Amino acid sequence: MYRAPVDEIAFTLKHVCGLSDLQKSARHAELGDDLVDAILTEAGRFAAEEIAPLNAVADKHGTPLADGKVSTPPGWREAYHAWIEGGWNSLTADPESGGQGLPVMMSAAALEMWNSGSMAFAIGPTLTIGAIEAMEKHASEELKAKYLEKLVSGEWMGTMNLTEPQAGSDLNALKAKAERRDDGTYRIFGQKIFITYGDHDLTDNIVHMVLARLPDAPAGTKGISLFLVPKFLVNDDGSLGERNDVKVAGVEHKMGIHGSPTCTMVYGDEGGAIGWLVGEENRGLACMFTMMNNARLAVGIQGLGVAERAYQHALAYALERKQGRAPGETGEGMSPIARHPDIKRMLLGMKARTQVARAICYACAHAIDMSKIAEDDAGKTFWNERASLLTPIAKALPTDFGVEVASLGIQIHGGMGFIEETGAAQHLRDARIAPIYEGTNGIQSIDLVMRKLPLSGGEHIKGFIAELQTVADEVAASNRPEFGAAADRLSASIRDLEDATSFMLSAQADGRVGDALAGATPYLRLAGLTLGGALLAKGALASTGEPAQRLSERTLLARSFCETTMGETAGLKSDILLSAEAIQAFDAEALAS
């Protein structure tokens, strides 16, 4: 069972991540606290009551392909239609296209809960929303008129088609072809793999966004264009026309998210799939990045959603399961395992990681929203840079945490955790993809180090670190013994982050690119853990107005994260500073057999 943590989510939005900054803006003037609470409550109800019960069923059933059609698990279609009827597909879309124009923070919060309900279910609409964003920014008015409203309402769904067998992390190698036709359309040819919701029976039509190369395109990523390729052609009156030349050639057998069909798509096997250009020729990658940046945050939220569910699952078991006697307990009978210190460590570790993931994802959403409402250039630059800085962290750390939390959840269940019927294993199997897709976490780390640290000549990251220090100072100034060693540990981690950042900036300044790349993964974790500790502390500082129990819970959570997990930063820093030479010296091709 899953209970939507609406209070915790609302607190994080309002008191940790700055929702009120948006509420004060003209753009979001209608977003009062009552509306926020109503949206969260209803999204949570839907997640818990309508989506969550489908999760295990879908895991068993999968998405079989028969007669060229993919079918979704039992209950999926009904749930999807109830979901779009609730208006959930259109939360952030532009009011001009029929959307509700809500901030990304609100959709992030709702998405968390749907992912807790079922990651395999929630991922489908995520891709539609990406397609909507790409079209809103880059598509012609004609295309928008024909497709956008139905994508926004959810009557049709969208997909993203990037990957090919030889082109995964490296889109330079993309081979799919596009040919110009006299009528302004294009014909698309090629195979795309790993296409999430590439085919399904939830909607009558599917709108594929496909990257392909024109015959005269420059080599590399500067020669890639984006095309809209509908499953069924659309007549001028909006009705469905002929079937387009796009087929699903296979559905993958995956470790997890069995309810999400991962398809191999073949375009143009019978003369060419008809496609329409989105944006300009050869500028497809820029359009795709519009989708990808938000998709990266959305994947981070998958990690968060699964972590929350796995935590609740393990907590319930730990409260019910009795074994042994906890220290200090006397008398007859066994203790719930939740009273054993080693289990407490695991539960706290799960809860803290989940809350860190939540706060980082919402902070990233906040930056995206702020960049949209910023009134001057300086503000726009600042928030664009902040969103750019936080996106790789918000993709990678929460997805790594999703795996760690799900794995701890299995451990708490003991032998039962390994039995599929228990459901704990599914969380790990589902969560394991999130560090891989939408740019592996290694790619995110490289993006952070190579593209984001140099923003504003390195000044943006320095300002960011100074903000973290302010939180540590506030913790110290609060003089609350309940914080334990939190202020000291937080300051120590911030110093680790400063040292590592200096190393990275000088490595790049000196042209030692390999040294920076070798330490990128520990750098992202170091930055993420430090930010996470600061955000937990901020939550504890902000909860002084709340009931005493909440204050003490949040303080304990922040304290224990600072005293346990965040201690990793010392090792991460020394790793970054010391290990680059040895790592680069490793020559796998020359290994003695």
| Residues labelled as active-site residues | 438
Q: Rule CB under 8 A: is residue 280 a binding residue for a second copy? A: no
Q: Rule CB under 8 A: is residue 209 a binding residue for a second copy? A: no
CB of 537 to a second copy, least distance (A): 13
Using CB under 8 A as the criterion, what x/- string covers residues 471-500 for binding a second copy?
-------------xx---x-----------
Please list every residue from 432 through 451 that binds a second copy, using CB under 8 A. Answer: 432-433, 435-437, 440-442, 445-446
Using CB under 8 A as the criterion, what x/- string covers residues 100-139 for binding a second copy?
----------------------------------------
Q: Rule CB under 8 A: is residue 220 a binding residue for a second copy? A: no
Smaller CB distance to a second copy: residue 319 or 466?
319
CB of 250 to a second copy, least distance (A): 11
Within 10 angstroms of residue 492's Cβ, the number of other Cβ atoms is: 19
Coil vs helix vs strand at 10: helix
Q: Rule CB under 8 A: is residue 57 a binding residue for a second copy? A: no
Coil vs helix vs strand at 247: strand
Among 328, 331, 457, 545, binds a second copy (CB under 8 A): 328
How far, CA to CA in Å, does 122 sit from each of 111, 299, 501, 521, 590?
Answer: 7, 10, 36, 28, 45
The dihedral formed by the CA atoms of 286, 130, 395 and 256, expressed in degrees to the nearest 10: -130
Is-contact 386 370, C-beta < 8 A?
A: yes
Is-contact 143 131, C-beta < 8 A?
A: no
Q: How many residues bind a second copy (CB under 8 A)?
A: 101
Q: Rule CB under 8 A: is residue 249 a binding residue for a second copy? A: no
417 CB-side CA count, 13 A: 21
CB of 231 to a second copy, least distance (A): 23
Question: CA-to-CA distance for 320 and 309, rounded, in angstroms?
Answer: 17
Smaller CB distance to a second copy: residue 277 or 557?
557
Q: Rule CB under 8 A: is residue 525 a binding residue for a second copy? A: no
Q: Rule CB under 8 A: is residue 310 a binding residue for a second copy? A: no
Smaller CB distance to a second copy: residue 252 or 474?
252
The one-letter code for the residue type at 44 is G
Q: Rule CB under 8 A: is residue 47 a binding residue for a second copy? A: no
344 CB-side CA count, 13 A: 10
Nearest CA to 209 among 128, 280, 308, 110? 128
Q: Which residue has the tokens 């640290």?
A: 453
At residue 475, what are phi and psi to the nearest 5 degrees?
-60, -45
* Stretch of 31-39, 44-52, 253-261, 467-475 lying at the interface with a second copy (CB under 8 A): 253-261
Q: Rule CB under 8 A: is residue 506 a binding residue for a second copy? A: no
Cross-strand pairs, 195: 263
Q: Rule CB under 8 A: is residue 82 a binding residue for a second copy? A: no
Question: CA-to-CA distance for 262 and 193, rounded, in angstroms?
Answer: 8
Please list every residue from 552 through 591 that binds a second copy, using CB under 8 A. Answer: 553, 556, 559-560, 563-564, 566-572, 574-575, 578-586, 588-591
Nearest CA to 195 among 139, 284, 131, 132? 131
Among 323, 456, 502, 544, binds a second copy (CB under 8 A): 323
Which pair of structure tokens corresponds to residue 198? 């590439």
CB of 136 to a second copy, least distance (A): 28
CB of 357 to a second copy, least distance (A): 18
